[in-house]
Amino acid sequence: MAEAQSKLNRFNSLQLFQFLRFGTFFIISILLAKISALYQHEYGLKLISDYEDLMLVTSSLTFFWVSAICNTLIPYYNNAEPEEKKKILFNTFVLLVAFSILAAIVIVIMGRVMDGKDKYLFEMFALVVLLNTPTYITDYIFYLKGMYRSLIRWGVITFGVQIILLCTPLVLKLSLGFAINMLLLLSLVKFSYTVLLLMKHATITVHTRLSVDFLKKAIPLMFSILLAGSMDYINGYIVKFNFTDDVFAMFRYGARELPIFLILANSLSNVYSGEIAKFNQEGKLEEALSNLKRSSGKLMRWLFPSTIVLMFLSPYMFKYAYNEQLLQGYKVFNIYLLLIVSRMVFPQTVIMGILKSRVFYVISSNYLIINIILSFWFIYILNDISGIAYATVIAYTVEKIMLAIVCKMEGVPLSKYTPVKEYLVYVTLTLVAFYISTLVQMPGL
């Protein structure tokens, strides 16, 4: 154990915890697909559709402020005095509770507007959100206190129990409502444990001035994350209101990037934005850019070949990991794999490093507008959910091009932070592989 503890640090512990979180979602998606196929008459794809309804609504109402508060907490806490740190922990918890109450109210309302006959599910899940979301502070108490082994243990236990409590009732042919009640029980236990942890590590006092100062730093980040990340949820709503429940379930399963791709790309971006900022102050910007170029090249050599392989294996993944009813979702998944073309270029990292982040508001807004317009246009032309996936890939590519142009205007051309020749070779191979995958009928399907 001591050896495991020594290997965990502030860099890899949070990454490992995120792997556990995303892995849990992935395992649940597989199990739900298997259960819906096994008990076709009892559930069918309606089980997946109902669950994905809940996830779409709750995630779209919470992702931006949860991410903003948690991302603000780390630097805010690290820059505070020891006694102030205890106050920060509790007041962050209070903010999470306040936002959770608002989100829970909206979830109940949306449940009645969107799907009145299943409003009970939304009401129960609103309580899950109310009790579970504030427990995110527990993750960061362990992380900020350097209790990395406790963080991973907390993740393994809570995520493992989440899988068991959600899926076991469904295997026993009980209702999704019963399974949600089991998650509510887990949320209550997690909330109670979080309160006990706060009593040990925090000062239990509400400080309005501190909370207001914290929000001043968090709110701009909320809007930035909302603009950057809301399109995935908008796409979900577009499909929800324009296609059948079965197609909605298929789209939700297909419109996913592999978590490991996202985590590796985002981790590289986060690390080097800080390094660029530091080196830029020291007058060594060229060295930081060179390091980013070298590291992004190494990442390309792993992720591009993996993407090409996945394009041909994805039909089998959907058939055997999920079920045959969801098989056609692989087409959407393959289109989303093309996002790797944009993700392997890091102009946003440079822009954050040289502190020109205000441009994100304009460019992210432009990305949203382009994506929405193209989504409806492509739906009209193709009459298929693949049009939404193509719209997302095109809009995200345009966003990265605009960010690269901003970098160029700041005196940092693409070649400074990207191995351009190697990148173009990989992009060409990926696009050719994608085109071939649309033509070839894989054996055994």
Instruction: Encode the chain (445 residues) as per-residue pLDDT tens digits.
Output: 444 444 887 767 877 898 899 889 999 999 999 998 888 766 778 899 899 999 999 999 999 999 889 888 888 888 888 889 999 999 999 999 999 999 999 999 998 887 666 788 999 999 999 999 999 999 999 999 989 999 999 999 999 999 999 999 999 999 999 999 999 999 999 999 999 999 999 989 999 999 999 998 888 878 888 887 888 899 999 998 889 888 999 999 998 877 778 878 877 887 787 788 778 878 888 888 999 999 999 999 999 999 999 999 999 999 888 888 888 899 999 999 999 999 999 998 888 777 666 787 888 888 899 999 999 999 989 888 999 999 999 999 999 999 999 999 988 999 999 999 999 999 999 999 999 999 988 777 6
Cα distance between residue 133 and residue 67, in whole Å: 11
Contacts of 53 (CB under 8 A, 6+ apart): 114, 115, 118, 121, 240, 248
The DSSP code sequence of 362-414 is: HHHHHHHHHHHHHHHHHHHHH-STHHHHHHHHHHHHHHHHHHHHHHHHTT--H
Sequence letter at residue 376: F
Choosing from 229, 248, 271, the residue where a domain stops is: 229
Contacts within 8 Å (CB) and 24+ apart, 401-408: 402/363, 402/366, 403/347, 403/348, 403/351, 403/359, 403/363, 404/345, 404/347, 406/347, 406/351, 406/356, 406/359, 406/363, 407/347, 407/350, 407/351
Q: Determine, yes or no, domain membership for 156.
A: yes
Give CA torsion, residues 286, 289, 294, 298, to 10 deg.
180
Tell me phi and psi for residue 215, to 5 degrees. -65, -35
pLDDT for residue 41: 63
Q: Are 219 and 267 in the same domain?
A: no
Q: Are 141 and 277 in the same domain?
A: no
Q: Are 214 and 290 in the same domain?
A: no
Q: Determine, yes or no, domain membership for 247.
A: no
**Domain of residue 273, residue span:** 257-439
Q: Are 285 and 156 in the same domain?
A: no
pLDDT for residue 388: 94
Give CA torsion, residues 273, 284, 295, 394, to 10 deg.
50
Give buried/exposed letters for 208-230 (b at 16+ CB in 10 A, else e). eebbeebeeebeebbebbbbbeb
Cα distance between residue 379 and residue 120, in whole Å: 32
Choosing from 229, 247, 281, the residue where a domain stops is: 229
Q: Determine, yes or no, domain membership for 251.
A: no
Q: Determine, yes or no, domain membership for 92.
A: yes
Structure tokens at 134: 């504030």
Cα separation of the two ends of the chain: 46
Q: Are 271 and 369 in the same domain?
A: yes
Q: Determine, yes or no, domain membership for 241.
A: no
Q: Tally Cβ neighbours within 10 Å of residue 302.
A: 12
pLDDT for residue 263: 78
pLDDT for residue 199: 95
Q: Determine, yes or no, domain membership for 202.
A: yes
Q: Are 53 and 175 in the same domain?
A: yes
Q: Are 175 and 35 in the same domain?
A: yes
Picking from 266, 227, 249, the residue whose alpha carbon sits closest to that of residue 219 is 227
pLDDT for residue 371: 92
Picking from 194, 177, 72, the residue whose alpha carbon sits closest to that of residue 141 is 194
Tell me phi and psi for residue 404, to 5 degrees. -65, -35
Structure tokens at 325: 């009813």
Q: Determine, yes or no, domain membership for 244.
A: no
Q: Are 71 and 146 in the same domain?
A: yes
Q: Are 202 and 293 in the same domain?
A: no
Q: Determine, yes or no, domain membership for 86.
A: yes
The total domain count for the chain is: 2
Q: Are 357 and 276 in the same domain?
A: yes
pLDDT for residue 165: 97
pTM: 0.85
Q: Are 221 and 280 in the same domain?
A: no
Q: Are 223 and 262 in the same domain?
A: no
